[in-house]
Structure 1
Amino acid sequence: MSAPFHRIDALLCTFRRPEVRDTLLSLEALDLPAGIDLRIVVADNDDTPSAREIVFETAAQMRLPVLYLHAPAFNISVARNAGLEAASERQADWVAFLDDDERADADWLARLVARAKETGADAVFGPSLAEYGPDAPDWIRGQDYHSNRPVRRGTVVQTGHTCNALLRWNSAAWRDQRFDVARGRAGGEDTEFFFRLHHAGARFEIAEDAIVREGVAPSRMTFGWILRRKFRSGQSYAAGAHGWKSRAARCGLAFGKGLFCACTAGLFAASRAGRNRWLLRGALHAGVVAGCLNLRQPQIYGLDSRP
């Protein structure tokens, strides 16, 4: 199905992050393809409009139009949905997503658009590459735990993330779909959203060369933070299983893999890097089990300035 690429809204949610200024300036520096009318929509999820001043000051330096929305709730789904509502009101042909602590390469959007045109896909996902400071532990830097790369399972891309995505919107059958508010404080709302669109018939592709970059805060370079992220990712992945048979099969497979990872971690007890690698893989599979059993996800979004 063909669709125009004239109007694109770049949707950006923010929550107490001054880095949003650098994100906006990276979008201003994009090399836009001819005929693209790009607008930036910033949805501030804080209870007070704490990002308003920095967004307005930065927008005053930019040629691209910037729409600021205050979407309070300490719930990222509320902010994401506010952006989608704004895109629908404008009748944006496509919506692009990135995070408020990322910087887009100059050809980021052009690469996403080119891949969508080439493949006819309904959404295209690109990588978010972590940038580590000199104090990053070797065991973290070596495994690059903080980068986010889209995954193809066999020949199919089943889901993706809003850290780097372009999605067909105005002409799409899923134009009325929204992010699940029940997941908005735990995370994984984007994984579930794209799983839902995939089951509704949306076809996804990957643009490996459409890159955004994210500096990693010291508070995120701990075993505990990565462990929680892996477990939560596993819970989100469980959303792709529909029906009790599918959930039971996925749960059983994940349980077996988690047990294997735990045993293997014991074999690497003397190696911090090896032990952590297998424990974290096990946490991912444990999260899948928890998700398949519908165990409640931890409410973490909005508890600090860097969720």
Structure 2
Amino acid sequence: MPVPDTTPLVIAVLTFRRPDDLAAILPALVTQARSSTIPASVVVVDNDPAASARAFVTAQDPTMVRYVHEPEPGIAAARSRAMTEAGASRLLVFIDDDERPTEGWLNHLLATQRRTGAAAVVGPVISEYAHPPDPWISAGNFFTRRRMPTGTAVTVAATNNLLLDLEQVRHFGLAFDRRYGLLGGEDTLFTRRLSQQGGKIVWCNEAVVVDRVPANRLTRSWVLHRAFSSGNSWSRVSLELASTTVTRVLGRIRLVLAGLMRIAGGSARVVPGVVGRSLTWQARGARTVARGAGMVSGAIGYVYREYRRT
């Protein structure tokens, strides 16, 4: 078994059968680690049961890059393995293998954490298209994510651009829930629990990573399925965080009503959008309907498996 890392900071990139993306991101991460204001290294967690990334990763500079194999399917298992492999390191940074860090990305995260003492620091993701998207996709503006001033407190975060203070995470006794491994929402549950228990999560607007959106995601079907999945996982996580039977029942009712309101509101956009030939109204309305349907389904117990494997 590989020896856990001993550098103060570990950059973890999770991968699953994306050799081209891995070949592109690893040199960038090594550059970030070498220019870090504190000693840093990179760990690649290969979640492919066949360990397909082993040969490529182990051929990299062993003083900067380590390879670990996590055969248990699911992103929660891979993220848990990254936390284990960080060993006694104080800081752990997650980035996805299909993203690219911009100049100064890592040091911006570090500076914000030092200044705020936050348990987690999250940065923005900017999307670039692999090819021109369908006009419906462009009209919906679906791949434009939120931006906020640095230091803004948030209560939930994705893990595709996230720094964790592991000392605080360990203090709260937090871990990624492996039940969510093939479902999605493990990052929502983790960060909402962190915030709920008193851990501060702050935004760093300068720590940008670029996500290159592949052709298979630039479709109406993918956008609507993703919206449904997002709504479904939000409801499931909200019910998971309910502390008593009563709050869970009340939460289930609120989630159903909120989902139904989104379905109604989205439908109210789609119809006039079709009549007035507004792609923006049609696209945004359809996604709102899909998210609302996901919320209702999650509230009544349906589990959508976003990362199911065949």
TM-score (norm 2): 0.86
SS at match of 1:177: coil
Q: Which residue of 2 aligns with 1:82?
A: 81
Q: Aligned ranges for residues 142-291 of structure 1 at < 5 Å?
A: 142-149=139-146, 156-174=153-171, 176-238=173-235, 239-240=237-238, 242=242, 243-244=247-248, 245-269=250-274, 270-291=277-298
Distance 1:212 1:261 in 2: 31
Q: Aligned ranges for residues 60-75 of structure 1 at < 5 Å?
A: 60=61, 65-75=64-74
Distance 1:234 1:161 in 2: 15
Cα gap change, 1:172 to 1:183, in 2 (>3 Å):
closer
Q: Aligned ranges for residues 80-119 of structure 1 at < 5 Å?
A: 80-87=79-86, 89=87, 91-119=88-116
Corresponding letter in the other structure for 2:84: E
Q: Deviations over 1:22-75 (max 9, x none)?
A: 1111112227343x1112111111111101122223x23xx8621211101331
SS at match of 1:268: helix
Q: Deviations over 1:248-300 (max 9, x none)?
A: 22331232122111122111013334212111122122222222223112253
Shift of 1:130: 0.8
Determine whether 1:37 maps to 2:34: no
Q: Which residue of 2 aligns with 1:51?
A: 53
TM-score (norm 1): 0.86
Distance 1:257 1:151 in 2: 25
Distance 2:282 2:139 in 1: 13
Contact conserved, 1:169 with 1:175, CA < 8 A, in 2? no
Cα gap change, 1:42 to 1:211, in 2 (>3 Å):
same
Distance 2:105 2:165 in 1: 17
Ranges in structure 1 where 5+ consecutive residues have no aligned partner: 1-5
Ranges in structure 2 where 5+ consecutive residues have no aligned partner: 1-6
Contact conserved, 1:40 with 1:66, CA < 8 A, in 2? yes
Q: Which residue of 1 aligns with 2:22?
A: 20
Shift of 1:170: 2.8
SS at match of 1:29: helix
Q: Which residue of 1 aligns with 2:3?
A: none
Contact conserved, 1:80 with 1:179, CA < 8 A, in 2? yes
Distance 2:8 2:159 in 1: 19
Distance 1:71 1:176 in 2: 22
**Larger proportion of helix:** 2
Corresponding letter in the other structure for 2:100: R
Distance 2:140 2:269 in 1: 17
Contact conserved, 1:187 with 1:301, CA < 8 A, in 2? no
Corresponding letter in the other structure for 2:72: A
Distance 2:256 2:120 in 1: 28
Cα gap change, 1:130 to 1:55, in 2 (>3 Å):
same
Shift of 1:83: 0.7
Shift of 1:120: 2.1
SS at match of 2:154: coil
Contact conserved, 1:28 with 1:64, CA < 8 A, in 2? no
Corresponding letter in the other structure for 1:9: V
Corresponding letter in the other structure for 2:11: A
Determine whether 1:300 maps to 2:307: yes
Distance 2:111 2:229 in 1: 32
What count of residue pairs does the alignment treat as equivalent?
290
